[in-house]
Amino acid sequence: MKRSHTILVAVAVTIAVTLVTAQTTPDNPIKIGFMVPLSGGSAQNGRDILNGFLLYLDEIGYRAGGRKIQLIVEDDEAIPAVGLTKARKLVERDEVHVMAGVLLSSTGYALAPYIESMKIPMVYPVVSADDLTQRRRGTWIVRTGWSGSQPNHAFGEYAYHRLGVRSVVTIALDYAFGWESVGGFERTFRAEGGRITQKIWVPVSVHDFAPYLAQIPRDVDAVYALLLGRSALQFMKQFQEFGLKGRVKLIGGGTTTDEHVLPFMGDEAIGAVTALHYSAALKTRANEAFVQAYRARFKKAPSYYSESMYTGGKWLIAAINAINGRVEDRAALLEAIRGARPSDLPRGPVELDAYGSPIENVYIRRVERVNGELQNTVIDTFPKVSQFWKYPPAEYLRDPLYAR
Amino acid sequence: MTYFIIQSLNGLFSAALLFLIASGLTLAFGVMRIVNIAHGSFYMLGIYVAYTVTARTHSLLLGTAVALVVVATVGLVMQRFFLRRFTSQPLAQMMMTMGFALFFRDAALMIWGGDPFTLATPAVLSGSMDAGGIVFPWYRLFVIVVAALVGVGLWLLNDRTLIGARVRATVDDPEMAAATGINVSRLSGGVFAAGAALAAFGGVMGGPILGGYAGMDFDLLPLAFVVVIIGGMGSLKGALVGAIVVGMIDNYGKALVPELSYFTLFAPMILVLALKPTGLYGRA
Amino acid sequence: MAERKPRRGTWRLPALVTLGIFLIVGPPFVSPYWIGLLTQMVILAILAMSLDLLLGYTGLPSLGHAGFFGVAAYGVGILSTTYHASFWVSVAGGLLTGIVLAALLGLIVSHVRDVYFLMITLALGMVLWGLSYRWIPMTGGDNGISGIPRLESHAGLPVTGPIPFYYVALLVLAACSVLMMRLVASPFGLTLRGIRENERRMKSLGFNTWVHCYLSYVVSGAFASVSGVMWAYYNGFVSPTYLDLTASSELFLMVTLGGPATLAGPVFGAGAIVLLKNVMSAYTARWLLVLGIVYIATIMWAPQGLWNLGGRRSG
């Protein structure tokens, strides 16, 4: 008995000593584990997220809280199981202090139990699945991006009152992101008295919209489209092809005209009105500086993905500075991340709510051609929008998650 | 009625693209017994090359021509230096094409990045026809007509020429064909390259509508396989019939029962497999 | 050639023994990360061996084999989360889903051979993938199902952590290996090899080759299901990527790279691929390109698999 006690004490002392020496060694870099898809179909979005982060880390010379920053990048291949393996590698082998990244909700959900069990702070700059900070929220994951329904709550009201839209057909990708976006829009739009006459769900693997476009009646006020990447590109073109443009107003979720795909569109996109928490055409000093730096380095306009991890990086570094670089104290780091209020963010002021999700501006943007380039001109702003919109959180959370 | 006409035209458009892709797949299968997983890569490479050339020269015609030549060459090289060594080893060949598919996928990402794009619709073909409420894009009609012409051309080539006779003989029985003096290996290379070019042509024809994007190589491949399985592996006529069946079912399935669209697509395949495993026009 | 007993192949037994000893005593001495990778290798080894029964011993190239693996994983995921089923119910449910599916699909595919078999199983695999992707109320679609309890706590084991899980997986691998080895050495297994070599002759000898192929397909699906059940518990979630074409062909690569019709070869193949993917992707973002080259190189230079290097040994 006594002996085992001695061993226990010895082990405890060893661990303590190791921890203390680790903490006080100044040359020991802060390790940030980062992962996004860098191969396969979502590679470009992942690359955008990474680029935003690289841009910010360069700005601060890879130093924070008096220590060097070491960034370890992994490719999660947009496959949840690979993401989990990579997370294990970053945490258990590279022994990172904090994690950031992830693009897809599927990977985001897959990682959550592991992150919680390892008690490692992690920042999700993009994953927009509502429940991640609502009904299935954890402690260690902090979202600095947005939730899918968030801008759409605002947009539902805007469409009814400011765009004068009364009847809408929605066409959206058939997965959680689509349901939550349409669900958010539908909730506030209908509360104001608007009518959704039809909801068309298209598989994520859609390439030809013809069978769906043929179903849209010409007498609705607007079509609400929630697409992204190449599906948005294909949709815009085909929307015009089938003679809908000009007859029916086109509105939608922000990704449909986001800068990750907008430069590849033509005049067919002009006039589309969408809502998102960012636009590269936002006229603020912070954003113009960011866009200029980003364009100079990567030769293209930043997308909301790029902005996400520029801001996410800024957020993380602000937290690390707040605790003077003592990232070994994970609980303190988590506290600092939750309490951080970095200023001069490209997208405008952001703070976190009690559920670990941002309260931020939602911008209503219209696609215009300015100086020969398509852009999302901001035509209106809803300040300080929470993931719960105007509803009391407790009440909101009693309702089920938006589904088809 | 209008609705049905539009949806049927849509179905024909899908069928047209599928036929361009599946005809190459089925020909290669017929002659070489190859299950070519990299066939989708040819489709992808076609539009990427055409896009690059068109962006430099502003000539879609030149872009198309270069794309066909480049992809046919890629196919020829693959056949000559890799696949030919493994004649009558379908597993080895399949694995090899899988390797090439991964290789091309990542190489395309490396060379062209992952941003999506579309080709510009030729000016004369832009806009839509509007006949009594039937709105249908001219360009899609054009694709249907072109695919039909390609189909007729392939049929003439196959049925009325010496090359066609050799191909048919090889499809029937490669050993017998070799015994009668046909250079099966050279013929295989030619057919494989032609099939690759057809897939690339499909990519270019779809370019103004579907465009190019990362991951497109595996997007239409399952559909092309379904076409080949339904129509019968190795049969051109089968590819045509299969493409129309799949194009129509896929289109109407998506329009009428969107929840079940994936199954409406595969149900006929399973039915055909259960009743006639070699497909509608395939030989045992 | 046939009569020359290769003496060069003597590395195999030592290799196997070394691997066995390492798998049993090694894990407590390696880092948790490596235990995780070893666990993956062990689980995927079962899957690779299951395909070997079909591909190597029966000569039926199934390109949709990840389907059973994935469907069994979904069985566990759905039962343990949506229905809060107990451990044994979840495991039995997962296994049963996979086996019933194999029994049904077997009816469609068992009369087809060679390259047709390849193409048809490929298509069926795609149907299963589509099902997991589109049957959203059941499968959660793209997001999959997360929140599967940890195996140790679900099974009521007194210990938890990566090491106990690893040894459970190793035990399952050992049991499956013994069963499969006995199977391929049995008269049934010999008949399968006979069918692979010359089906017509086996028919004329009075064997019902359809039934043999059918049983082989079902048994193989059953072992794949075992692996799928373990995988669901290992990751704690299921997603459609478990059963897509890439998964099936990677599995195919494990068997081919390792050496078909050897059972031991695919175990090494599974280990090699897991190792390769994880080590390589740490050094280059272009690892998919490299993986493509590995496929091609395997066929060019080791078409019989690593296990058969230096003298053919497969049965």
Of C142, C147, C281, the CB nearest to A75: C281
The 8-class DSSP code of residue C53 comes to: I
Picking from B35, B95, B218, the nearest residue to C115 by CB comes out as B35
Please give the share of chain C, as a percent, with pLDDT higher than 70.
Answer: 95
Nearest CA in chain C to A43: C285
Helix ranges, A162-205 (H): 176-191
Put simply, the answer to whether B7 touches A211 (Cβ < 8 Å) is yes
Beta bridge partners of A375: A368
The shortest C-alpha distance from A90 to chain B (Å) reads: 24
A201, A178 Cβ separation under 8 angstroms: yes
User: What predicted TM-score, i.e. pTM, was given to this entire model?
Assistant: 0.88
What is the sign of the dihedral through the CA atoms of C52, C58, C59 and C64?
Answer: negative
Residue of chain A minimizing CA distance to C242: A81
Whether C2 has a pLDDT exceeding 50, the answer reads: no
* Lowest mean pLDDT across A153-162, A293-302, C23-32, C42-51: C23-32
Angle between helices C245-258 and C114-134 (to 10 degrees): 140
Q: Classify the phi-psi angles of B128: left when phi > 0, otherwise alpha if psi is within -120 to 50, otherwise beta.
A: beta
Q: Contact C143/A112, CB-based, under 8 Å?
A: no
What band does C161 get if pLDDT is binned at 50, 70 and 90?
Answer: confident
pLDDT in tens, A229-266: 899 999 999 999 888 888 899 999 999 999 999 999 99
The pairing of beta strand A273-276 with beta strand A249-253: parallel
Task: Check if B94 contacts C (Cβ < 8 Å).
Answer: yes
Residues of A in contact with C144 (CB under 8 A): 80, 106, 109-110
Residue-wise pLDDT tens digits, B172-223? 888 888 888 888 888 999 999 999 999 999 999 999 999 999 889 888 888 8
Q: Kindly report, residue by residue over C194-220, the tens digit of the pLDDT.
A: 999 888 898 899 888 899 999 999 999
Show the 3-state SS of A188-221: HHHHCCCEEEEEEEECCCCCCCHHHHCCCCCCCC
Residue C177 DSSP code: H
Q: How far is the C-alpha of B275 from the C-alpha of B269, rounded, in Å?
A: 10
Least confident of A122-131, B159-168, C7-16: C7-16
Lowest mean pLDDT among A15-19, B3-7, C236-240: A15-19
> In this complex, do B86 and C253 lie within 8 Å of one another by their Cβ atoms?
no
Q: Which residues of C touch A203 (CB under 8 A)?
A: 133-134
| Percent of chain C clearing pLDDT 90 (strictly above) | 45
Contact B270 C253 (CB under 8 A): no
Q: Name the average pLDDT for chain B.
A: 89
Which positions 237-296 of C are in contact with B (Cβ < 8 Å)? 245, 249, 252-253, 256, 286, 288-289, 291-296
For B103, the closest of C116, C123, C289 (CB atoms) is C289
Confidence of residue A2 (pLDDT cuts 50, 70, 90): very low
Query: Residue B82 carries which side chain, given as an amino acid letter?
Result: F
Write the residue in A200, A212, A243 that is nearest to B128 by C-beta: A243
Tell me if B282 sits within 8 A of B235, measured CB to CB: yes
Per-residue model confidence (pLDDT) at position A17:
46
The two beta strands, A67-75 and A98-101, are unpaired
- The DSSP element (H or E) to which A317 belongs, if any, is helix A304-322
Q: Nearest C-alpha of chain A: how many angstroms from B51?
A: 12
Overall average pLDDT of the A381-386 stretch: 95
Residues B35, C118: C-beta atoms closer than 8 Å:
yes
Read off the pLDDT of residues A54-113 as tens digits, 9 standing for 90 and up: 999 999 999 999 999 999 999 988 889 889 999 999 999 999 999 999 999 889 988 999
Q: How confident is the model at residue A403 (pLDDT cuts 50, 70, 90)?
A: confident
Give CA–CA dist A155/A252, Å, rounded.
9
Neighbours of A87 (CB within 10 A): 26
Q: Is the pLDDT of residue B38 over 50?
A: yes
Residue of B nearest to C257 (CA): B95
Of C36, C141, C281, nearest to A88 by CB-CB distance is: C36
For C142, the closest of A88, A106, A114 (CB atoms) is A106
Question: Residue B284: what pLDDT?
Answer: 59
End-to-end CA distance of chain C: 16
Q: What is the H or E stretch that residue B134 is in?
A: strand B134-137
Q: How confident is the model at residue C1 (pLDDT cuts 50, 70, 90)?
A: very low
Helix runs in C26-161, H state only? 32-52, 66-77, 87-109, 114-134, 136-139, 151-154
Structure confidence at residue C302 (pLDDT): 82
Q: Which residue of C has its CA nearest to B225?
A: C123
C4 CB neighbour count, 10 Å cutoff: 7
Chain B contact residues (CB < 8 Å to A) = 3, 6-7, 10, 13-14, 105-106, 109, 113-118, 120, 128, 130, 135-137, 139-140, 208-211, 213-216, 219-220, 251-252, 254-255, 258, 261-262
Mean pLDDT, chain A, whole residue set: 90
The percent of residues in chain A predicted with pLDDT above 70, rounded, is 93
Mean of the pLDDT values across residues C231-251? 91
Q: Structure tokens of A136? A: 């299935």
* pLDDT, tens only, A269-287: 999 999 999 999 999 999 9
Per-residue pLDDT for C269 more than 90? yes
Q: Where are chain C's structural domains? A: 34-245
Strand pairing report for A195-202 and A222-226: unpaired
Domain ranges of chain B: 15-217
pLDDT of residue A5: 52
DSSP letters spanning A33-53 = EEEE--SSTTHHHHHHHHHHH
Instruction: For residue A279, report the phi and psi dihedrals to the nearest 5 degrees.
Output: -150, 135
Mean of pLDDT values over B62-86: 94
The average pLDDT across B143-162 equals 93
